[in-house]
Structure 1
Amino acid sequence: MFRLVLLVALAAPAFAQHFPTDDPVIREMWAEGMDRSQTEAMAHVLTDVIGPRLAGSQGLENAQDWLLETYAGWGVDARREEYGTWNRWEAGALHVEMTAPRVQSLVAEMLAWTPGTDGPVEGPVVAPPADLTPETAQAWLAGLEGAFVLTSPPEPMCRAMQELEANARPETIERLEAQRASLRADWRQRLSALGRDVAGVLEDAGVAGTLSSRWSGGWGANKVFSTGNERAVGLDVSCEDYGMLARLAESENAPRVRVNAQAEDGGVVPQFNVVAEMRGTELPDEYILLSAHLDSWHAATGATDNATGTIVMLEAMRILKETYPNPRRTILAGHWGAEEVGLIGSGAFREDHPEVVAGLQVGFNQDNGTWRFERIEGQGFLDTAEHLPVWMAAVPTEVQAQVVVEVPGEQNNRGSDHTSFTCAEAPVLRLQSPYDEYRQYTWHTNLDTYDKIVFDDLRQNATLAAMLVYGASEDPERMTRETANLPVNPRTGEPREFGPCREPRRTAPN
């Protein structure tokens, strides 16, 4: 179904690698991963051809089909495992333009699971009035039929903070921050007059749609999630355009918009993980787990969240198949579904496979963008101090110098699929790339696309992952589950704990 075409690529970086051992497998892994990488071809298919992979969508299903076809082509056993259901929603074309007080196309995205518009719909843009109270709310709501209501505070400036810090006067920054805080407090007060179910109240009033904006803090980037709207279209509007609409509404210049949003509700559909396996020859009931989520949000193509993590694990399995086809321990690659809506796929795998949790030697999860790995944290497992440095010692010295190995670690980063296992005291470690730019520009944004991937680093990351798996598989000793003391949770004043694990949601929300 999907063609994996080798693209014309730049030559692999000419690192003067120094191998600390004469292990021929490590040397061949480096040659396979760096000189014969398939990461660019994989990324093209997964992001450009298949595209967004929202939980429940046809895109996610297509990506799973592609994984199964790709593994089959390499001679690696892979399977689809059903874990529950979710709501299918497919986004079509979206056109949004302001029609008054002048004509201008607007930058906007549909929020996930929104209803469509059933053709073009035009109406006024309305902001909740500053003096709105529970007592005056009904009178205001009575005039909203067919309107598009602004539901989030506008930003006073859509310029990245690092540029302000570099160029603006300190008093300018202070004034902007005070203005932003005041706007947010003001809009919380306005919306509080509508009660807890703002979307439901507005839909009951007959609005045509709700407009919101969740700016990422970077040029042109908004974080785009979902809506609870059931009848009115829900849109995220760019920071710049949303601010313009808000200013026009506040100054009584009567802005109007026309929206044509195509969206299809496909009902409740089954959901799956894809799991690939290379069976161990000596210790088949002990496991090494490669872990990454396959699903994404829908406003872009999920390139760095988490096509890159998916490709690291997929390419690592290819390298392992080529250079280490008969592993000592069983190697699994888990391509999880529904991470973005609650770590559901990985949590379900944990619950459905107690034998893997019990027999896990170690796992490696990747879920934060591009750039090379800079840190591997032991996630609070004491024995990582004995084993992880040994596995790292076999990789090229230039790569070692780029990675901080932090053992036993404090579980500084939670919220991705590794926590589905560490909560059960099963050691799945996080392969971490730099965070700041990722959080600002591509994490859950409309800019998370193929062009943001740094392929020199992606090749190296996949190769390093394969080497770590090889070291863990060949390790003569089983890593223990003994845990370290975790730091104090600032919210409770008590030491953090490993568990309990959260039961994964296996049924569609409605």
Structure 2
Amino acid sequence: MRLVIPTVAFAAGLLARATSVSSQTFASNDPVIQRIWVEGKDKSQLYPLAQALLDSIGPRLTGSTEQEQANDWALAFYRKLGIPVRTEQYGTWMVWRRGIAHIDLSAPRIRPLDGMLSTWSPGTNGTVEGPVVLFPKIDSTAAFEAWLPQVRGKFLLLSFPWPSCRPDTNWQEFATPESFERMRKDRADAFDAWYTGRLRKSGLRGPALVRRLAEAGALGIVTSLVPPPGPQGWGVHKISTTIAERIPEVGLGCEDYGLVFRLAENNQGPILRVNADAEFTGEVPVSNVIAELRGTEKPNEYVVLSAHFDSWDPASGATDNGSGTVVMMEALRILKAVYPNPKRTILATHWSGEEQGLNGSGAFAADHPEVVSGLQILLNQDGGTGRVVKISMQGFTGAGTFFRRWLSQMPSEISRQISLVDPGTQNRGTDNFSFTCHGAPAFELGSVGWDYETYTWHTNRDSFDKLVFDDLKSNASIVAMLAYLAAEDPLRVPREPRITPTEARTGRPAPWPACIPPARSWAQSRP
């Protein structure tokens, strides 16, 4: 019996692998492409990678202890596979620790409020309680200065209160057309009156305004966690860096911000009780993680797999960008298993500081001109959890020929879903821009939406359960196949000619976008 069981298992394994390959329509008989498909489909490590990263380590705010833990975890993963890997420091950043926060309405009735401390905000240093006031109706800087003493010992409401927390899609479905249009007009008028008729009359904006409020003795500012253009989905908070430096910035969800605002507006005596723990512990080194399969024939030419490792911290940073992170890790794992000796060097790069302005990738590009000049392609993913369906050529007019040739050699089950935007225009919002601005061929892998911008991008809902593993498996195989084909291609992807959109003002092509110098320290990033 002991002799028969391994034989049956071996035969079953062969059958399973044969089924995995034969069930796909391959456009070529390339054995590496076939092995990539089988490895990605039958031996995927995406689920355990994502679970460990997102549930155990959690969000990876730049400079945080969790980001350092994530770096160590990634290093251990690659080293276990025998893949050379390193961290590269590009600067320093402030360590900010978010603690537990309690935000309560204590008058005119008692109610716990849905909210959180804004990221990098000072804490309250214990429980602080005080009344709430609105930003005043003023007509000049002098009027603002005359009003300022009234804010002492109070929380100031700084954001516009959305009159309805229903998404517009809900209004469109159920309201009459007349009611929907009236709501939109009333909202737009009220929004303009709040910002143009109140805040801007102070003569101060952003951190400068909040510094003046702090000097006047305000307990803190209260903002809405639903920024313009207003509610896009149910129960979603958007988070970003605070504009407060000396006093706490407390963010409230749409409904509770509106509640507190209406109470203050109608002189019904709202009082907030806030205990929000946070700690700054100084600047620490921040680093990118770089894993490498060294090229055997053209080691100074590069195929780069790119995703940012950092995230915001109200949830787990799952779709932004834990999904891209684990896809690139899985793609390099697959390549190590089936294509360990590539012709060109393949790098898997996990960037820090993307959310603060592409700082990690921008610093790497500035520090490694040899990678920029030797870049065959860079493949970046930073668009959620969906399967890849679109690749823009970013204005490189000769790149489409290469991608069409590579896609033609991949299983039609995945290649037929991908459309090329050729020549396309530059995407400046994520890490591939750190390379395209240098004129290097770097591409963003556009994904199926899965309501990414509405529900998980920079939100409190960006958690492990939002990942779609069938799509992530497809993406890891696509990345591995494209990396293999780009590494093998005898030709370089051309950088010229390049095109840019026509400027409406001049009627001429816009100049190629300039690179943005990366901020290499917290102090350097402050206004």
| TM-score after normalising by structure 2 | 0.91
Note the C-alpha offset of 1:132.
Answer: 6.2
Amino acid at match of 1:207: A
1:320 to 1:172, Cα distance in 2 relative to 1, 3 A? same
Asked if residue 38 in structure 1 is aligned to residue 49 in structure 2, the reply is no
Structure 1 unaligned spans of 5+: 1-10
Q: Distance in 1 between matches of 2:395 and 2:510?
A: 11
CA RMSD of aligned residues (A): 1.9
Q: Cα–Cα, structure 1 residues 350 and 204, in superposed 2: closer, same or farther, change >3 Å?
A: same
User: Any conservation in 1 of the 2:386–2:450 contact (CA below 8 Å)?
Assistant: no
> Which of residues 88, 95, 117 in structure 1 aligns to 2:95?
88
- SS of 1:465's equivalent in the other structure is helix
Q: For 2:481, which of 463, 467, 474 is the aligned residue?
A: 467
Deviation at 1:163, TM superposition (A): 2.0
| Fraction of identical pairs, as percent | 47
Aligned-partner Cα distance in 2 for 1:193–1:204: 19
Residue of structure 1 equivalent to 2:210: 199
Q: Does 1:269 align with 2:276?
A: no
- Provide, for residues 277-323 of structure 1, a one-character-per-residue CA deviation record: whole Å limited to 9, x for no partner: 00011111111000111111111111111111111111101111111
Greater shift, 245-254 or 431-440, is seen at 431-440
3-state SS of paired residue (1:242):
helix
Which protein has the larger Cα radius of gyration, Structure 1 or Structure 2?
A: 2
Q: Which amino acid aligns with 1:428?
A: A
2:158–2:222: 8 Å Cα contact kept in structure 1? yes
Q: What displacement does 1:435 show?
A: 4.2
What's the counterpart of residue 458 of structure 1? 472
Quickly say closer, same or farther: Cα 1:64–1:489, change in 2 above 3 A: farther
C-alpha distance in structure 1 between counterparts of 2:368 and 2:390, whole Å: 28
Measured at CA, do residues 152 and 328 of structure 1 come closer, stay the same or move farther in structure 2, by a change above 3 Å? same
Matched-pair contact (CA < 8 Å) for 2:308–2:321: yes
Q: Which amino acid aligns with 2:481?
A: M
Quick check: 162-171 or 481-490, which moved more? 481-490
Change (3 A) 1:489 1:298: farther
1:330 equivalent to 2:345? Answer: yes
Q: Contact 1:109 / 1:224 at 8 angstroms: preserved in 2?
A: no
- What SS does the aligned partner of 1:286 have? strand
| Superposition pairs of residues 208-219 of structure 1, within 5 angstroms | 208-215=219-226, 216-219=231-234
- Once the two structures are superposed, residues 61-109 of structure 1 have per-residue CA deviations (whole angstroms, 9 ceiling, x without a partner) of 1111111111111111110001111111110111111111111111112
Residue 453 of structure 2 aligns to which amino acid in structure 1?
Answer: R
**Letter of the 2:291 counterpart:** A
Structure 2, unaligned stretches of length 5 or more? 1-15
- Hey, what's the Cα distance between the residues in 2 that align with 1:113 and 1:492? 42
Equivalent residue for 1:371?
A: 386
CA distance in 2, matches of 1:58, 1:350: 25
2:34 corresponding residue in structure 1: 27
CA distance in 1, matches of 2:363, 2:503: 27
Distance (whole Å) between structure 2 residues aligned to residue 491 and residue 64 of structure 1:
46
Q: Structure 1: how far apart are the matches of 2:131 and 2:36?
A: 61
Report SS of the residue matched to 1:408: coil
Distance between the aligned counterparts of 1:495 and 1:234, measured in 2?
A: 43
Instruction: Give the helix-richer structure, 1 or 2.
Output: 2
Q: Structure 2: how far apart are the matches of 1:206 and 1:490? A: 48
SS, match of residue 451 in structure 2: helix
Supply the distance in 2 between the matched residues of 1:133 and 1:436 (Cα, whole angstroms). Answer: 46
SS at 1:135's partner residue? Answer: helix
Show the 5 A alignment for 1:128-139.
128-131=135-138, 133-139=140-146
Q: Residue deviations 1:369-427, cap 9 Å, x none?
A: 0111110111111221221111111211011121112222222x321100000011100
What is residue 434 of structure 2 aligned with on the other side? 420
How many residue pairs get aligned? The number is 499
Is the CA contact 1:424–1:498 (under 8 Å) kept in the aligned structure 2?
no
Deviation at 1:485, TM superposition (A): 2.0
Separation of aligned partners in 1, 2:238 and 2:507: 32
Closer, same or farther: CA 311–60 of 1 in aligned 2, 3 Å = same
One-letter code aligned to 1:259: V
